[in-house]
Amino acid sequence: MALALLLSPIMASDAVSARSRAPQPQVNSPLEAALRRHVETLASDEFGGREPGTDGETRTLRYLARQWFDIGMVSGTNDPGNEWFAPVEVVERVPDLSRMVFLRGHRRLPIDGNGVFVVTSGLRSLIEDAPLLFVGKGANPDAARTELAGRIAVILDSQTVAAEGEGQDARAGRLLDAGAAAVITVLDAKRTIEDVVSRRRRPGYALNGERLGGDLQAYMTPAVAEQILAAAGGGGLDALRTLGEQEDFSSRPIGLTGTLEATSRETRIHTHNLIGKIEGKRHDLGAVVLVAHWDHFGRCAEPPAEHLICNGAVDNASGLAVVTEAARMLSAGRQSDRDIYVLATTGEEVGFLGALAFAENPPIPLDAIVAVLNVDSTGLVPAGLPVSVIGSGMTDLDDGISTVLKGLHKKEVSGNAANAYVRRQDGWVFIQHDVPAVMVSSAYSDQARLDRFMDERYHRPTDIAAQVQYGGMAEDVVLQVELARFFADSRRFSGPPVPHQEITKR
CATH of domain 3-18+28-72+279-487: 3.40.630.10
**Whether the domain at 3-18+28-72+279-487 and the domain at 92-266 fall into the same CATH topology:** no
- For residue 41, the SS3 value is helix
The residues near 109 (Cβ < 8 Å, ≥ 6 apart) are 102, 103, 227, 228, 231, 256
CA dihedral (124, 209, 293, 22) in degrees, to 10, reads: -50
pTM: 0.82
Answer yes or no: are the C-beta atoms of 173 and 181 closer than 8 Å.
no
The residues near 378 (Cβ < 8 Å, ≥ 6 apart) are 314, 318, 319, 322, 441, 442, 443, 472, 473, 476
Answer yes or no: are the C-beta atoms of 120 and 215 closer than 8 Å.
yes
Tell me how far apart the alpha carbons of residues 340 and 272 are, in angstroms, rounded to a whole number. 20
Q: Where are the domains of the chain?
A: 3-18+28-72+279-487, 92-266
Q: What is the CA radius of gyration of the chain?
A: 26
Class of 92-266 per CATH? alpha beta
- The gap from C-alpha 347 to its chain's centroid, in whole angstroms, comes to 7
Helix then strand count (H, E) for the chain reads 15, 17
Got the DSSP string for 74-107?
EE-S--GGGSSEEEEEEEEEEEEEEEEEEEETTE
The angle, 0 to 180 degrees and rounded to 10, between the axes of the packed helices 319-332 and 30-42 is 130
Ordered per-residue pLDDT tens for the chain, 506 residues: 333 333 343 333 333 333 333 334 455 799 999 999 999 999 999 999 999 999 999 999 999 999 999 999 999 999 999 999 999 999 999 999 999 999 999 999 999 999 999 999 888 999 999 999 999 876 454 556 678 999 999 999 988 765 444 566 888 888 998 899 999 999 987 889 999 999 888 888 999 876 656 789 999 999 999 999 998 887 889 998 898 888 878 888 999 999 999 999 999 999 999 999 999 999 999 999 999 999 999 998 888 888 999 999 999 999 999 999 999 999 999 999 999 999 999 999 999 999 999 999 999 999 999 999 999 999 999 999 999 999 999 999 999 999 999 999 999 999 888 999 999 999 999 999 999 999 999 999 999 999 999 999 999 999 999 999 999 999 999 999 999 999 999 999 987 666 654 444 44
Diameter over CA atoms, the chain: 79
